[in-house]
Chains A and B, each alone.
Chain A
Amino acid sequence: MGMWSSLRGRFSLWVGKIFGRRSVKIGIYGPPNVGKTTLANRIIKDWSGEDMGAVSDIPHETRRVKRRRDVKINVDRSSIKLDIVDTPGLATKIDFRDFLSYGLEEEEAKKRAKEAAEGVIESIRWLDDLDGVLLVMDATEDPYTQVNITVIGNMEARRLPMLIVSNKIDLPTASPVKIIEAFPQHTVVPISALKGNNMDKLYDDIYEHFR
Chain B
Amino acid sequence: MTYTNISGEKMVRVDMISEDLLASMTSAEKIRMILDGVMEGKILVLERGLMPEEEAKLIEATMVEISPEFVGIEMESYPAKERRSLMDRLFGRGKSQARLTVIGSPNQLKTIKKDRGLITALISEV
Contact = CB atoms under 8 A, between A and B. Distances in A.
**Binding site of A, secondary structure by majority: helix, strand, loop or mixed?**
helix
Q: How many of chain B's residues touch chain A, expressed as a range?
A: 20 to 34
| B56, B64, B75, B115: most-surrounded residue (chain A CB, <10 A) | B56
Nearest to A90: B59
A120 B68 CA distance: 17
B121 interface: no
Q: How many of chain A's residues touch chain B, expressed as a range?
A: 20 to 34
A129 B118 CA distance: 35
A84 interface: no
A90 B53 CA distance: 15
Given A121-B63, A153-B96, A157-B53, A91 B77 contact: no
B26 to A, nearest CB: 18
A50 interface: no
Interface of A: 90-96, 110, 113-114, 117-118, 120-121, 124-125, 127, 142, 144, 146, 149-150, 152-154, 156-157, 159, 181-183, 185
Given A144-B79, A149-B78, A152-B79, A92 B114 contact: no
A127 B82 CA distance: 21
Interface string B33-72: 0000000000000000001110110011011101010011
Interface string B90-112: 00100110000000001000000
Contacts, number: 86
18 contacts: A91-B72, A92-B62, A92-B73, A95-B71, A114-B66, A120-B60, A120-B63, A124-B59, A124-B60, A127-B56, A149-B77, A150-B52, A152-B52, A153-B55, A154-B56, A156-B96, A157-B52, A182-B116
B77 A118 contact: no
Contacts of B75: 92, 146
B66 A157 contact: no
A126 to B, nearest CB: 11
A144 B59 contact: no
A154 B54 CA distance: 9
